[in-house]
Amino acid sequence: MKLYDSKLAPNPRRVRIFLAEKGISVPTVQVDIGKGESRKPPYIEKNPLGGLPMLELDDGTCIAESVAICRYFEATQPNPPLMGTDAADQGVVEMWQRRMEFELFRNVTGCFQNTHDFFKGRIEQVPAYGEICRKAGRARLAWLDGEIAKRPFIAGGRYTIADITALCAIDFGRVVDIRIADDQKNLARWYETVSTRPSAKA
């Protein structure tokens, strides 16, 4: 088993934190995004869309997409549960995972891809769309501050994959100035809790 990883990108960190929370260790291969290694052979023969991270199983099966890789490990090692327990809890955790993905993570990366120099010349940037993402990302943090006032973690009383997605989105959000505002005290309390867990260093 091998995990194709990049220390530069926000998605692979989601899997690294997930594995750290589970106490699972997997051999990793660093793929150099700056040199375009994830966009050319041999990597794209395993993952034609070129994204990172990717998990290659011993039988050659390749699983791309951070949440899909987490799903694999949730099934092979259910404890501690990070994707929900019973049916209702699995649904609620998946709802919050997706909200953190679409409302935070995607706005951060949408802003980054469309406004940041790193992507200049790599993709067709639309700065006006990037600015909408920035505004939306900030608005979602304000909304999340109210939500997180009601419970310790994003999806309820327990740390889950939704916290991991939110943490990675917020940390990466700094590069595009999507940050927890001074008056967002609930979010700041949550951030302090999750970012000081040992897994956050992964």
Per CB under 8 A, residues contacting a copy of itself are: 48-49, 55, 57, 59, 61, 63-65, 67-69, 71-73, 75-76, 84, 86-88, 90-92, 94-95, 97-99, 103, 114, 124, 126, 128-129, 132, 143, 147
Per the structure block, which two tokens stand in for 103? 């409302």
Q: C-beta of 151: minimal distance to a copy of itself in Å?
A: 13
| Nearest Cα residue to 191 out of 180, 178, 175 | 180
Terminal alpha carbon distance of the chain: 19
Residue among 61 and 195 whose Cβ is closer to a copy of itself? 61
Residue among 31 and 70 whose Cβ is closer to a copy of itself? 70
Q: C-beta of 135: minimal distance to a copy of itself in Å?
A: 9
CA distance 103 to 169: 10
Q: C-beta of 139: minimal distance to a copy of itself in Å?
A: 11
Q: Beta strands 54-56 and 28-30: pairing type? A: unpaired
Which is it for the CA torsion 140, 20, 79, 159, positive or negative? Answer: negative
